[in-house]
Structure 1
Amino acid sequence: MFRPAEQVLVNCSVYDGVGDTVLPDHAVWTDPDGMIRAVGPVDDVLAEARGVTVVDLGGGYLMPGLTNMHVHLSLGLPGHFGDEVHRSDQAELVLLMADSARRTLHAGITTARLVGESRYADFALRKAIERGAVDGPRIFTAGHALCCTGGHGWDADALEADGADGFRKLTRQQIRAGADLIKVCISGGIAGQHEAIDTPQLLDDEMAAVIQVAHDWGRKVTAHAGPADSIRRAVELGLDCVEHGYELTDDVTKLMAAHGTWYVPTIVVSRCEQFFRDSGVPGWLMDRALSAGPRHWESLQLAIANGVPIAMGSDMPPHAGYDETTATVRELEFMVDAGMSVADALKSATVRPAQWLGADDRLGTVQEGRHADLIVLRDDPTKSISALRTLHLVMKGGVVYRDDTNVTRRFAR
């Protein structure tokens, strides 16, 4: 296991995730436990950190590592990726996921929320990352997604149940396995051949059973959901978060805002034609995804306008190439294009996910007492979200995992 280095990062401007502007001529002191010991004007920090190694960041912009809130490390879409996952044995599956985790971390995502994986391999991977045996982001995972018999995701390793008792049991099984949250599929979606996006799939008592058990055990529930009516019913029952929301309405987004129900739009999945072609997905899936795009875009705009709390998630592999950047960065650019301010977009990928995850006391900001999960850019992210395309350094827990310019080569993993 590579130990974090004690160091003071200087010659940088800091976007701390708290304010909306950068703090020029600041320094960040990371300690041997991988935590941030101090942040402040460079002279003040250096005066306190006498004798500590100084690392010159060359005038870069330092900010919190990104959090992607909709990740599948064992992506099971019909096509090349899904075939590879389904024909793998357990060991091969974990290695596939470990490779995706490493690529995700190198793309600047230091925390990932997994929302449906295969064969409980995510729990083994989480443990390996925590021990330092595998490179990857911090993982918060739902384990398997839950669906009704034949419901969305049944052929991608979602677990099937029917009736309130069946869903109570599955929810408890995920919690027993170590789930940090629960993912339930309450409607059809893009990747189910024998369903439509607006197919309702859970009854109220089934949704209520999942939500009640999860809340009783201190877990939040997020739902794969497309149509407005299914979402409305789930929000009224206490749902914590909506994934995709392909067909939101003005009334439903206002209801979500009033209830404090979060939204992870995954807007890239309805406009990523080249990714679908490269993945070899069947034509019906690509046609359905792309045809959902205009209505999906309208849903995102309504959520932004009506003040729904939004967190960034890509659904596409976070590191996947998209328009000469990654799916994660492209998702954020789309969110700004849809009307979100740059400041809100940055927070949707840093401090706000940490809040939803109940981890904002240790993640999501560049502040004393937080984990030293940091990225460095060449350009100012508060001026343009596309500055994230200039990412060149990634640190997690005080350990450098990517450094394109070799300024930290003495400490890099």
Structure 2
Amino acid sequence: MVRPERTLLAAGALLVTLISTPAIAAETAPETLFTDVRVYDGKGDSLSAPTSVLVRGNLVAEIGDDATAGADAAVIDGGGRTLMPGLIDAHWHTMLIRQTPEQMLFGDIGLINLLAGAEATATLMRGFTTVRDLGGPSFGLKQAIDSGVVPGPRIWPSGAIISVTSGHGDFRPLSDLPRDSSKPLSRVEDLGGAMIADSPDEVRQRAREQLMLGASQIKLTAGGGVASPHSPIDVSTFTPEELGAAVEAASNWGTYVTVHAYTSAAVRRAIDAGVKVIEHGQLIDEDTAKYMAEKGIWLSAQPITHEFFGGMFPPGSDQDQKAAEVMEGTDRLYKLAKKYNLKLAFGTDVLFSEAMARQQGRMLVSLKQWFTPAEILRQATSTNAELLQLSGLRSPYKGKLGVVEEGAFADLLLVDGDPLANIDLLADAERNLLIIMKDGRIYKNTLSE
């Protein structure tokens, strides 16, 4: 029997989001020629000399002074400004940002979808043309975006977070315990936000379900978390056999498992089970950072600092204390990542806060405490794009992202200035991103005004 809540969630993302966002018409032309632009290609340390970039369809077709367009092309004079790849957030939650925890647990399904559609458009308008969704029922929203129903970023979806009983992702009230086959799924499970699994067979089944729904990678919570009510931050959750079952299911589909984990114990257990990507990692020790480097493991880190995450929870609460511990570890984590040259991705991990989501660009810019502007731009463009390709044939978009080069997807930003000289430009997308193009379509163009 199909649950009506699940049906509404999928249908709502396709249909209800039509009225959730202001109309943003995408400008389309057979070709778009950018002239007099200085290109940041997503990989280097400098801008090109003034040049031209031709977009044909949804791809970058030519780069150079001899790039020529047909008579029907739209021609944009960049005025010496910077043309760069669209930004990528490697840890985002498309369905879980504007709703509150109470709305997630008790709210109207239609409202949840309306909020997600509106936030998807806002995300794109901040210059983030691609996100890797690390938990939530984003499949319908992704379909709506891809089919042009609502403007938004490309989505690499994980589907439901897979958690153990009492783990990060288990938001059930204690009155739901003990759980047995006679009890229905919890509200969060019913919505596809998280799934509880307590054996290798259950983990394997839940992973396969997400792959069947369209997941491009599988997300597990291998250790305790901050926001979850029953999950001490020091605990390791899944057993090696359970982690291995998820890895097996994912690898059979040609993709990978990423895990939420803060501590050295949780990280090492996951790596030894075949996990390829660690989310967070703020509490790892130096030996574990070195171990990650030796094994070629990706670290998907976020600037979890007091600037952005302070004051989220009631002072003195258990969650507030856990948040303080994680924030304390962020500086050490980035320094270890630099020391051991870890494969480092950028993400933000915003949950339940539209106000914090608006700081997405500022969170990227805040990395200047540890990295040069060129290193920051690489993280959020070509490096994040490299991480996305771990999904192999499960990647939902077949082409190059995170770079400005011939044959790459035309996901482009025209910046009013040089972000290599002034990375702070990316903190204010409304003012400094003059053009936002995704898949060859222009969704913002203030030059035309």
Q: Shorter-chain TM-score: which interval? A: 0.7 to 0.9
Name the structure 2 match of 1:16.
Answer: 41
| Deviation, structure 1 residue 319 | 9.7
Ranges of 4+ aligned residues in structure 1 off by more than 6 Å: none
Map 1:34-183; keep pairs closer than 5 Å.
34-41=58-65, 44-46=66-68, 52-75=73-96, 81-117=100-136, 120=137, 122-155=138-171, 157-183=193-219
Change (3 A) 1:274 1:59: farther
Residues 54-98 of structure 1: CA deviation (Å, up to 9, x unaligned): 111233211000000111122279xx7222333333333222211
1:8 aligns to what SS in structure 2? strand
> Which of 404, 413, 433 does residue 366 from structure 1 map onto?
404
> Which of 369, 374, 377 does residue 337 from structure 1 map onto?
369
Map 1:262-411; keep pairs closer than 5 Å.
262-268=298-304, 271-273=307-309, 276=312, 283-316=317-350, 321=355, 326-338=358-370, 340-358=371-389, 361-389=399-427, 390-403=432-445, 406-408=446-448
| Deviation, structure 1 residue 163 | 1.3
The answer to whether the 8 A contact 1:314-1:327 is kept is: no
| Deviation, structure 1 residue 11 | 2.4
Separation in 2 of the partners of 1:381 and 1:393?
15
| Deviation, structure 1 residue 264 | 1.4
Separation in 2 of the partners of 1:53 and 1:391?
19
1:133 aligns to what SS in structure 2? coil
Name the structure 1 match of 2:174.
Answer: none
Residues 141-175 of structure 1: CA deviation (Å, up to 9, x unaligned): 00001000121011253200111111111110100
Separation in 1 of the partners of 2:419 and 2:26?
30
Separation in 1 of the partners of 2:305 and 2:95?
16
Structure 2 counterpart of 1:272, one-letter code: F
| Deviation, structure 1 residue 18 | 2.8
Change (3 A) 1:318 1:341: farther
Residue 247 (1) aligns with residue 289 (2): no
Residue 191 (1) aligns with residue 227 (2): yes
Separation in 1 of the partners of 2:329 and 2:118?
34
The answer to whether the 8 A contact 2:362-2:426 is kept is: no
The answer to whether the 8 A contact 2:126-2:361 is kept is: no
Structure 1 residues not aligned, in runs of 5+: none
The answer to whether the 8 A contact 2:305-2:330 is kept is: no
TM (normalized to structure 1)? 0.88
| Deviation, structure 1 residue 300 | 2.1
The answer to whether the 8 A contact 2:158-2:218 is kept is: yes
Change (3 A) 1:217 1:360: closer
Separation in 2 of the partners of 1:38 and 1:307?
34
Residues 23-46 of structure 1: CA deviation (Å, up to 9, x unaligned): 121111112x222111123xx124
Name the Cα RMSD after superposition: 2.5
Residue 206 (1) aligns with residue 242 (2): yes
1:166 aligns to what SS in structure 2? helix
Separation in 1 of the partners of 2:55 and 2:315?
45
| Deviation, structure 1 residue 326 | 4.5
Residue 4 (1) aligns with residue 28 (2): yes
Separation in 2 of the partners of 1:319 and 1:363?
28
Separation in 1 of the partners of 2:320 and 2:342?
28
Change (3 A) 1:319 1:131: farther
The answer to whether the 8 A contact 2:168-2:225 is kept is: yes
The answer to whether the 8 A contact 2:40-2:83 is kept is: yes
Separation in 1 of the partners of 2:32 and 2:387?
30
Separation in 1 of the partners of 2:318 and 2:307?
15
Change (3 A) 1:396 1:282: farther
The answer to whether the 8 A contact 2:167-2:230 is kept is: no
The answer to whether the 8 A contact 1:198-1:227 is kept is: yes
Change (3 A) 1:269 1:83: farther
Determine what percentage of the aligned residue pairs are the same residue: 30
1:392 aligns to what SS in structure 2? strand
Change (3 A) 1:363 1:275: farther
Separation in 1 of the partners of 2:435 and 2:296?
35
2:282 aligns to what SS in structure 1? strand
